[in-house]
């Protein structure tokens, strides 16, 4: 269980194509994991996801813990049965959300006085983004919740500081993350779940090296890189990834958390990353934005023979556009001959079908891109 095997390796870079075994099926890497925060990728049924090409989805421990609760999901037979998805599932630890979500989310809901999350050695005190109630989560709690949820791959509870944090603050987060990892491992009981540690360290090379060496020493079968795409420039993200993959073992999958732009995925694959997740393809779709292949685009994708355009269908110029988004696309909208004018109309009328069709399109774009990158690795062009 959780065997990882490299099937093809680039001679030009760190890129590789691999095979990753889980209790609910095999994953071919590199792989993109769509985010199903509350147990559903927005507007997509499990059958839709499978048709689009999803091999694994991500769900959120924080959200599922608050509602409907891990005990109900456990009673239902676990997350796979509860949501009707028979392929692999990864749950994040909730660590990022308890820091980032409660305060800003409550302020957006009109709550004026909000207490920020507070960290201690024991865990994190935070306030639910749903009702403002006081909560406390420890590394042990996170593991127990994830064991009840029953995902194939679970994440260690970590401390992810903002991008503008001082080096001293990032160093504190790294040390806390390592201590919490040891505690997470100590309480983990299920052998049919893979616990994945997270490398922190921000944009500081020495801290990234230290964190990567530390989590490597646990030899847990897979490793993740966190603390990127939290406000820093792209070049800093690529640099941090390079530092980490220099250290993290080649014989285990490497997971880069929160990366979703096409060019970023390609850059990360070149640097030896195997797994990705991001809300971006689905979030953009909800705002009328789609990705389409383009030979002449300034947005180039390393390892692909095409670039891409980011198109906002809500713009007035698409009101009478009777062309489909992309002739080469296999999604429901493009394959079905649905024009941009109609899709725009659905969005303006707040018809859920419009968001569904754009979500399907964007996910197909990402899944096909990752498939193309695999072929580029095999052919030696990436």
What pLDDT score was predicted for residue 323? 98
Instruction: Give the C-alpha distances (Å, rounded to integers) separating 44 from 81, 190, 357, 361, 369.
Output: 16, 30, 9, 11, 20
Could you say which of 92, 141, 158, 368 is catalytic?
A: 92
**CB-based contact 139:158 (threshold 8 Å):** no
Question: What are the phi and psi torsion angles at 266 (to 5°)?
Answer: -65, -40
- Low pLDDT (below 70) residues in the chain: 97-115
Task: Kindly provide the residue ranges of all beta strands, DSSP E only, lying in the chain, ordered along the sequence.
Answer: 4-9, 16-22, 25-29, 31-34, 57-60, 89-92, 118-119, 124-127, 134-137, 153-155, 194-196, 198-199, 223-225, 254-256, 275-278, 289-294, 299-300, 307-312
Tell me which of 141, 152, 277, 368 is the catalytic residue: 277
User: Could you give the maximum distance between any two Cα atoms of the chain, in Å?
Assistant: 61
Structure-block tokens of residue 185: 């491992």
Q: What ranges do the domains of the chain cover?
A: 4-278, 287-379
Q: Which two tokens stand for residue 169?
A: 């603050």
What single DSSP character describes residue 117? P
Distance separating alpha carbons of residues 194 and 115, to the nearest angstrom: 34
How high is the pLDDT of residue 133?
85
Give the global pTM: 0.95
Q: Residues 22-47: pLDDT tens digits?
A: 999 999 999 999 999 999 999 999 99
What is the C-alpha to C-alpha distance for residues 202 and 350, in angstroms, rounded to an integer?
40
The pLDDT, as a whole number, for residue 108 is 62
For the residues of 44-83, what is the DSSP string, one character each?
A: --HHHHHHHT-S-EEEEHHHHHHTT-HHHHHHTTSHHHHH
Structure tokens at 327: 């002739």
Known active-site residue 264: no
pLDDT on residue 136: 92
In the residue annotation, 246 being an active-site residue is answered as: no
- The structure tokens 């859920």 sit at 352
One CATH from 3.40.50.970, 3.20.20.105, 3.40.50.1100, 3.30.360.10 for 4-278: 3.20.20.105
- What pLDDT does residue 101 have? 53
Measured distance CA(14)–CA(242) in Å, rounded? 10
Q: Is the peptide bond before 156 cis (omega within 30 degrees of 0)?
A: no
């Amino acid at each position: 269980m959780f065997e990882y095997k490299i099937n093809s390796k680039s001679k030009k870079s760190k890129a590789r194509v691999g095979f990753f075994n889980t209790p609910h099926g095999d994953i071919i890497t590199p792989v993109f994991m769509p985010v199903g925060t509350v147990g559903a990728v927005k507007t997509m049924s499990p059958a839709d996801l499978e048709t689009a090409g999803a091999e694994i989805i991500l769900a959120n421990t924080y959200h599922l813990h608050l509602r409907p609760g891990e005990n109900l999901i456990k009673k239902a037979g676990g997350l796979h049965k509860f949501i009707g998805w028979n392929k692999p599932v990864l749950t994040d630890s909730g660590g990022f959300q308890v820091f980032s979500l409660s305060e800003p989310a409550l302020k957006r809901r009109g709550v004026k006085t909000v207490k920020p999350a507070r960290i201690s050695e024991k865990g994190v005190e935070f306030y639910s983004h749903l009702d403002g109630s006081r909560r406390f989560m420890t590394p042990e709690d996170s593991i127990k919740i994830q064991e009840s949820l029953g995902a194939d791959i679970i994440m260690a509870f970590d401390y992810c500081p903002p991008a503008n944090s001082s080096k001293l603050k990032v160093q504190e987060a790294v040390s806390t993350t390592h201590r919490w990892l040891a505690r997470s491992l100590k309480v983990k009981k299920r052998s049919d779940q893979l616990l994945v540690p997270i490398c922190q360290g921000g944009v500081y090379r020495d801290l990234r090296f230290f964190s990567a060496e530390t989590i490597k020493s646990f030899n847990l079968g897979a490793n993740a890189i966190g603390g990127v795409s939290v406000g820093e420039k792209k070049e800093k993200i690529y640099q941090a990834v390079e530092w980490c993959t220099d250290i993290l073992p080649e014989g285990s999958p490497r997971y880069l958390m929160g990366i979703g732009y096409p060019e970023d995925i390609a850059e990360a694959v070149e640097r030896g990353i195997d797994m990705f997740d991001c809300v971006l393809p689905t979030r953009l779709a909800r705002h009328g934005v789609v990705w389409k292949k383009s030979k002449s685009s300034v947005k180039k994708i390393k390892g692909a023979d095409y670039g891409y355009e980011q198109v906002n269908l809500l713009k007035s110029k698409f009101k009478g556009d009777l062309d489909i988004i992309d002739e080469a696309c296999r999604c429901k909208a493009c394959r079905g001959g649905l024009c941009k004018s109609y899709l725009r109309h659905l969005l303006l009328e707040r018809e859920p079908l419009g968001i569904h069709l754009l979500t399907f399109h964007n996910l197909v774009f990402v899944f096909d891109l990752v498939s193309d990158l695999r072929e580029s690795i095999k052919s030696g062009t990436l």
